[in-house]
């Protein structure tokens, strides 16, 4: 999981730096709860666009060689990584820890999920 931790934190640093360089954080206090909520709402909007792309099965209008679904998921990941970087969160570590935890959860085991009350998706 060391690779996951490093990759997640590198992605956060790169996305946050790109946003800084583009001026997206100019004059903005990233610790302000209103700012955090607004940024999270923007993540939600990207997920909604991904849903629309999946529903329609169409290619992206800005990157026409790619599915809208994958481009909008990328946008959501970029926004999440940017926010994590701005807040100084250990996103990579949290992803690694969550993957280890999920691997041990009974409701994530194939045999439990196959049962009548198991999670299907």
Average pLDDT over residues 85-105: 96
pLDDT at 80: 98
User: Between helices 68-87 and 2-22, what is the axis angle to 10°?
Assistant: 90
How many Å apart are CA 54 and CA 72, to the nearest integer? 10
Nearest-CA neighbor of 80 among 25, 23, 42, 27? Answer: 42
For 15-73, the pLDDT digits (tens) are: 999 999 999 999 999 999 999 999 999 999 999 999 999 999 999 999 999 999 999 99
Q: Half-sphere exposure of residue 58, counting CA atoms within 13 Å on the CB side?
A: 9
Comparison of pLDDT for 39 and 111, the residue scoring more: 39
Euclidean distance between the first and the last CA atom of the chain, given in angstroms as a whole number: 24
Q: Domain segments of the chain: what residues? A: 2-113
pLDDT at 115: 82
| pLDDT greater than 80 at residue 88 | yes
């Amino acid at each position: 999981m060391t690779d996951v931790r490093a990759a997640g934190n590198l992605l956060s640093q790169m996305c946050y730096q790109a946003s800084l360089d583009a001026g997206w954080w100019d004059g903005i206090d990233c610790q302000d709860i209103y700012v955090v909520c607004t940024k999270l709402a923007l993540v939600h909007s990207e997920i909604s666009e991904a849903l629309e792309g999946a529903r329609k099965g169409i290619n992206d209008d800005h990157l026409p060689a790619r599915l809208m679904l994958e481009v909008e998921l990328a946008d959501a990941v970029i926004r999440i990584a940017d926010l994590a970087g701005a807040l100084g969160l250990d996103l990579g570590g949290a992803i690694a820890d969550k993957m280890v935890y999920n691997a041990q959860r009974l409701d994530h085991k194939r045999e439990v999920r196959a049962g009548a009350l198991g999670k299907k998706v």
